[in-house]
């Protein structure tokens, strides 16, 4: 199959995710045509691998390989999600504005979950949010925006399933770690689960849902995991909204 040549001037989008920086170019019909990748460790082996994988994927796309074929071929983690740097670029094409997904939206905030911190007070009586909370909130909002892929927030009631995967103490034996992964040992120490719930709802607010008040069903699990992360699955509910306040 012959290669489709791109025009000299074409649309380009640049964004970042995790420690990667990406730019993508599109065909005139809006389809993904080329990918440029790099990461924070310029000149490293991982940076070279990311750049080479982007070149190979770009050539494949320009020779007519369907995007879905590339997506299915990517390496995946234990949860079945694509784990290579290409995952942030090889997402399905965007739907039209105003179209809302009927399936669940999954937001994955990588790294050790940070609970919502209480406001602190200065000596002069001014309230402020702790730096760790502000940083994690920004990380969560970015993850939610990537999950939505340009779609507008869901305007109807939703169900949210929140999973908090916490790291295990490094001093634990292999037997104790296995028991924790099976769920035979659960994290019952502070922070409380509701603090993680607040952090999760802050991440999806105005990004996945128009307002977190639309979350009418909620399930939260705090557990130990091999890879620390916060996962929020949002399921649209086929029901009408009522903004009437209860008196």
Give 127-146 as a DSSP string: EE--HHHHHHHHHHHHHHHH
How confident is the model over 41-67, as a mean pLDDT? 84
Please report how many Cα atoms fall inside a 13 Å half-sphere around the Cα of residue 235, on the Cβ side: 10
Task: Give residue 21's pLDDT band: very low, low, confident or very high (50, 70, 90).
Answer: low
Question: Is 70 exceeded by the pLDDT of residue 83?
Answer: no
Q: Can you give the pTM of this predicted structure? A: 0.60
Q: Three-state DSSP class for 178?
A: helix
The mean pLDDT of 56-68, rounded to a whole number, is 87
Task: Answer yes or no: are the C-beta atoms of 76 and 82 closer than 8 Å.
Answer: yes
92 pLDDT band, cuts 50/70/90, is: very low
CATH number belonging to domain 105-236 = 3.30.1330.70
User: What residues does each domain of the chain span?
Assistant: 12-88, 105-236
Which ranges in the chain belong to alpha helices (H)? 45-62, 67-73, 131-148, 174-182, 193-204
- 31: which residues sit within 8 A by CB, 6+ positions away? 61, 67, 93
**What is the average per-residue pLDDT within 170-192?**
95
pLDDT at 243 over 90: no
Strand order of the β-sheet with 158-166 is 105-110, 229-236, 158-166, 215-224
Closest to 148 in 3D by CA, of 81, 66, 205, 202: 205
Residue 187 near residue 166, CB atoms below 8 Å: yes
pLDDT for residue 100: 42
Q: Residue 247: its pLDDT value, please?
A: 63
Per-residue pLDDT tens over the stretch 110-167: 999 999 988 888 888 888 888 999 999 999 999 998 888 878 888 889 999 999 999 9
Range among 49-53, 67-71, 101-105, 169-173 rated most confident: 169-173
């Amino acid at each position: 199959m012959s290669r489709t040549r791109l025009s000299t001037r074409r649309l380009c989008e640049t964004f970042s995710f995790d420690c990667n920086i990406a730019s993508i170019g599109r065909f005139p019909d809006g389809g993904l045509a080329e990918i440029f990748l790099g990461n924070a460790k310029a000149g490293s082996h991982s940076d070279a691998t990311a750049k080479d994988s982007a070149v190979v994927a770009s050539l494949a796309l320009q020779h007519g390989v369907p995007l879905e074929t590339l997506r299915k071929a990517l390496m995946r983690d234990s949860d079945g999600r694509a784990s290579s740097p290409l995952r942030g670029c090889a997402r399905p094409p965007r739907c039209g504005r105003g179209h809302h997904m009927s399936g669940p939206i999954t937001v994955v905030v990588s790294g050790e979950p940070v609970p919502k911190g209480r406001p602190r007070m200065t000596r002069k009586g001014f309230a402020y949010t702790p730096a760790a909370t502000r940083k994690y909130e920004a990380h969560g909002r970015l993850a939610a925006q990537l999950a939505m892929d340009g779609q507008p927030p869901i305007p109807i009631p939703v169900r949210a399933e929140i999973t908090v995967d916490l790291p295990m103490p490094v001093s634990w034996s292999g037997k104790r770690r296995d028991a924790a992964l099976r769920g035979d040992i659960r994290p019952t120490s502070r922070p409380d689960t509701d603090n993680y719930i607040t952090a999760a709802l802050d991440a999806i607010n105005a990004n996945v849902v128009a307002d977190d008040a639309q979350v009418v069903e909620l399930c939260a699990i705090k557990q130990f995991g091999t890879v620390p992360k916060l996962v929020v699955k949002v399921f649209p509910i086929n029901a009408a909204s009522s903004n009437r306040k209860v008196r």
